[in-house]
């Protein structure tokens, strides 16, 4: 209930403005966001590689309605990829990028889908040139079909493009079946948006059970599952399923968010699994931060205090 309420009030402009200006927010932001600039993001990726953790880097910002902003985001991604390659961090996909289509134009009325696809294509071309990969993040359910369609179009030229599926959606087990084919990189997560009962499980146990069903399909298939969760039971189940299907260590990976369960990330990497950290950076951290707070009730007091100290 708290999660839903938080996601709901976060849509208010006055709440956004209060939180962004509050000094207390900065401390919470620093936990989940690796700085505001490309050099800061590259520095964090380098640091994580010292403990054998790969990264997928997200330039924060979503629901962009301005063409110039969408173009700017594309340019930041290309500059980021160049900077990763310069530091020899990108090769073999060790540091890749995650892109939200709404950050590169999908939400712009009229030709938004075509613009987002073109921008994503340019980011993929840069990634290919530098020997790394791109994963297209999944946003709320109103964009699922269009986002999967864009992934299909991108894969025609860049077969390594990753897609994301969310276990809270009723449709996802079927999507897993469709996408568990050879070479298909699929990140499975629970899902971070407030979704209606008509399309999504509302109860945490149902979301978890769906996650396990989806994981079974992906691990039994021919694709490359990316198990994105901090849930210890699901990590164990992912590991057991990989073993059951005789998967080699390089045929799947675990993923967690920057700032969440850091010790567990290192432990998973030390056990010989591939571990990738989702590393967000940039100035537009508000939407991302609220979703992280909503997942962790203990963090909400920071959020409320940040409003009170204004």
DSSP label at residue 110:
T
3-state secondary structure (DSSP) of residue 252: coil
**Cβ 161 vs Cβ 133: under 8 Å:** yes
Quick one: 62 or 113, whose CB is closer to ligand FAD? Answer: 62
Quick one: 103 or 115, whose CB is closer to ligand FAD? Answer: 103
**Cβ 28 vs Cβ 303: under 8 Å:** yes
Q: Is 192 annotated as a binding residue?
A: yes
What is the contact mask toward ligand FAD in residues 291 to 310, using x (rule: CB under 6 A)? -x--xx--------------
Residue 71: C-alpha distances to residues 172, 174, 277 (Å): 31, 34, 26
Neighbour-count burial of 262, counting CB atoms closer than 10 A to its CB (0-12 exposed, 13-18 middle, 19+ buried): middle
Cα–Cα distance between 24 and 151 in angstroms, integer? 38
Q: Which of 199, 231, 247, 305 binds ligand FAD (CB under 6 A)?
A: 231
Q: Is 229 annotated as a binding residue?
A: yes
3-state secondary structure (DSSP) of residue 182: coil
Q: Residue 208 catalytic?
A: no
Residue 85: C-alpha distances to residues 5, 80, 81, 140, 208 (Å): 42, 9, 6, 32, 37
Q: Which of 278, 281, 286, 303 binds ligand FAD (CB under 6 A)?
A: 278
By CB under 6 A, the residues from 108 to 137 that bind ligand FAD are 137
Q: Which residue among 74, 94, 185, 187 is the active-site one?
A: 187
Q: Is 103 annotated as a binding residue?
A: no
Q: Computed from CA positions of residues 295, 151, 160, 40, in that sequence, does the dihedral angle turn out positive or negative?
A: negative
Span near ligand FAD by CB under 6 A; candidates 85-93, 172-180, 223-231, 240-248: 223-231
Told to check if 60 binds ligand FAD by CB under 6 A, we report no
Quick one: 166 or 184, whose CB is closer to ligand FAD? Answer: 166
Cα–Cα distance between 38 and 44 in angstroms, integer? 10
Q: Which residue among 113, 137, 208, 284 is the active-site one?
A: 137
Told to check if 256 binds ligand FAD by CB under 6 A, we report yes
Told to check if 96 binds ligand FAD by CB under 6 A, we report no
Residue 166: C-alpha distances to residues 26, 173, 273, 301 (Å): 29, 9, 22, 27
Shortest separation between residue 195's beta carbon and ligand FAD, angstroms: 9
Q: Which two tokens stand for residue 62?
A: 């979503």
Q: Which of 230, 245, 247, 305 binds ligand FAD (CB under 6 A)?
A: 230
Neighbour-count burial of 305, counting CB atoms closer than 10 A to its CB (0-12 exposed, 13-18 middle, 19+ buried): middle
Q: Is 226 annotated as a binding residue?
A: no
By CB under 6 A, the residues from 148 to 207 that bind ligand FAD are 164, 166, 187, 189-193
Q: Residue 94 catalytic?
A: no
98 forms beta bridges with 58, 135
Span near ligand FAD by CB under 6 A; candidates 43-51, 68-76, 176-184, 228-236: 228-236
Active site residues: 137, 187
Binding region for FAD: 138, 166, 190-192, 229-230
Which residues lie near ligand FAD (CB under 6 A)? 137-138, 164, 166, 187, 189-193, 228-231, 255-257, 260-261, 278, 292, 295-296
């Amino acid at each position: 209930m708290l999660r839903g309420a938080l996601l709901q009030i976060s849509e208010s402009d006055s709440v956004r403005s209060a939180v962004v200006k509050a000094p207390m927010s900065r401390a919470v932001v620093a936990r989940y966001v690796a700085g505001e600039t490309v050099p800061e993001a590259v520095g964090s990726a380098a640091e994580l590689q010292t403990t054998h953790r790969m990264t997928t880097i997200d330039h924060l910002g979503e629901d962009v309605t301005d063409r110039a902003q969408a173009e700017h985001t594309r340019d930041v991604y290309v500059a980021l990829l160049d900077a990763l390659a310069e530091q020899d961090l990108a090769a073999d996909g060790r540091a890749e990028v995650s892109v939200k289509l709404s950050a590169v134009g999908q939400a712009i009325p009229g030709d938004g889908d075509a613009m987002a696809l073109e921008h994503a294509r340019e980011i993929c071309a840069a990634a290919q040139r530098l020997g790394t990969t791109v994963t297209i993040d999944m946003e709320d359910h109103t964009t699922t079909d269009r986002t999967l369609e864009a992934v299909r179009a991108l894969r025609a030229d860049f077969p390594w493009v990753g897609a994301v599926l969310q276990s809270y959606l009723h449709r996802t087990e079927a999507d897993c079946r469709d996408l568990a084919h050879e070479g298909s990189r699929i990140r499975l997560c629970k899902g971070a948006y407030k979704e209606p009962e008509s399309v999504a499980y509302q109860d945490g146990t149902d979301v978890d059970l769906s996650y396990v069903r989806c994981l079974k399909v992906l691990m039994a298939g021919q694709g490359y599952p990316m198990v994105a969760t901090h849930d210890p039971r699901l990590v164990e189940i992912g590991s057991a399923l990989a073993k059951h299907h005789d998967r080699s260590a390089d045929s799947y990976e675990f993923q967690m968010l920057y700032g969440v369960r850091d010790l567990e990330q290192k432990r998973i990497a030390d056990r010989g699994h591939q571990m990738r950290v989702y590393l967000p950076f940039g100035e537009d951290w508000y939407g991302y931060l609220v979703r992280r707070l909503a997942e962790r009730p203990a963090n909400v007091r920071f959020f409320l205090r940040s409003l009170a100290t204004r």
